[in-house]
Amino acid sequence: MKAEALLQVQDLRVTFTGRGQPVHAVDGVSYRVYAGQTLAIVGESGSGKTVSCRAVMGLLPPSAMVTGSARIQGTELIGLSDDRLREHRGTDVAMVFQDPARSLNPTMRVGAQIAEAVRSHRPVSKAQARQQAVDLLRLVHMALPERRCAEYPHQLSGGMRQRVMIAIALACRPRLLIADEATTALDVTTQAQIMELLLELQAELGMALMLISHDLGLAAAYADEVIVMYAGRIVEQAPAARLFGHVRMPYTQALFEAIPRLERPAHSLLPVIGGQPPDGAMPTGCSFAPRCRRAADDCRAAAPPLAEHEPGHRWACWHPVKPGAA
């Protein structure tokens, strides 16, 4: 893709200061998202995938120190005041979270919540906003949208609530939609429906889509481009179609292998790696080395840089897996 990036993140760093040692949650992350593209960021809890996106959205608590750059269509978002950020949230970037039940107001009817999102960014009358709420619910394929508008969140199923959240996120036609574990809490059948819906809306509205997930299988199935994060850094990035069969970073390989697969015989042991991601103090050298089967002395001495070793395929590893071995 030669077009200019919609979102360009450069050397993003997030440090949480508080009592005790500062925690480097995001440690120099750079990537680009293009219009119409689906980018997945995959990693375990604590890998920094969510924090890096929240930093872009300006949704981190004051204890977080954010440096680096995140430009959306040329506008620098890092360091922007709350008021100015609010202009970009919703219209440029919108976010859908994992738990729709906690994001919705339980005492407000669904239609009113969507209408509120519409009116907060656009000068339309209440009646128009209501009509748009119905249209948005229709857009996310909600059956009986007029009736659903009059209902409260508790009257909806998890999948329907997530559709409402997507409708709210789409209220101002954002150029970039960030789905942070948006389907994790849902059933597989509902998850497939919501993923299809997101991709369909993306094509229809020309949005860029960012999927934040711990599920490499989901990312590989639905994204164009996959970024794998470990301990606050990007450790591998490749087009999704390439990543299958061409995994180079041992951590990505471990993630792939640990997914239960239908093809695997019952009671077979899953190939696992021990240990936990580092929390707090980072090891010198590669942060994955303590858990890595391939780690050697040079891994513990110096951290491998993230470099584009093959066209479109970046990885950070001194001893990468041979292609096809994954």
Partner 1 sequence: MTAEASPLPQAARPAALPEAAKPALLQIRDLVREFRTRTGTVHAVSGVSFDVWPGETLGIVGETGSGKSTLARSILQAPRPTAGAVVFRGTDLVTLRGARLLQARRQLQMVFQDPFGSLDPKWRVRDLVAEPLVAYKTGDRNARRQRVGELLEMVGLAQHGGRRPRELSGGQAQRVAIARALALSPALIICDEAVSSLDVLIQAQVLNLFERLRAELGLSYLFIAHDLALVKQVSDRVAVMHLGKLCEVGPGEAVYRQPLHPYTRALLDSVPGSAQAQAQARATATIRGEPPSPVHPPSGCRFRTRCPRAAQRCADEEPGLRELATGHSVACHFPLVPMACTPDRSAEKIGETPR
Of positions 106, 107, 123, 272, contacts partner 1 by CB under 8 A: 272
Of positions 62, 106, 123, 265, contacts partner 1 by CB under 8 A: 265
Least distance (Å) between residue 125 CB and partner 1: 33
DSSP alpha helix (H) spans, 66-109: 82-88, 100-103
> Quick count: other Cβ atoms within 10 Å of Cβ 66?
21
- Angle (CA) 34-37-39 rounded to 5° is 95
Of positions 68, 217, 239, 290, contacts partner 1 by CB under 8 A: 217
Of positions 273, 294, 300, 313, contacts partner 1 by CB under 8 A: 273
Of positions 10, 67, 193, 202, contacts partner 1 by CB under 8 A: 193
Least distance (Å) between residue 266 CB and partner 1: 5
Least distance (Å) between residue 191 CB and partner 1: 7
If one asks whether residue 204 binds partner 1 (CB under 8 A), the answer comes out as no
Q: Are 67 and 79 in contact (CB under 8 A)?
A: no
Q: For residues 165 and 146, give the distance between their C-alpha atoms in angstroms, rounded to a whole number.
A: 16
Amino acid at 230: Y
Q: For residues 307 and 318, give the distance between their C-alpha atoms in angstroms, rounded to a whole number.
A: 11
Of positions 1, 203, 270, 302, contacts partner 1 by CB under 8 A: 270
Q: Smaller CB distance to partner 1: residue 65 or 270?
A: 270
| Beta-strand pair 225-230/64-72 | unpaired
Q: Are 76 and 70 in contact (CB under 8 A)?
A: yes
Q: For residues 13 and 45, give the distance between their C-alpha atoms in angstroms, rounded to a whole number.
A: 18
Residue carrying the six token digits 């429906």: 193
**Residue 12-51 contact track with partner 1, rule CB under 8 A, x = bound:** --------------------------------xx------
- Contacts to partner 1 by CB under 8 A: 44-45, 143, 157-160, 186-193, 195-196, 199, 214-218, 220-222, 244, 254-255, 257-274, 276
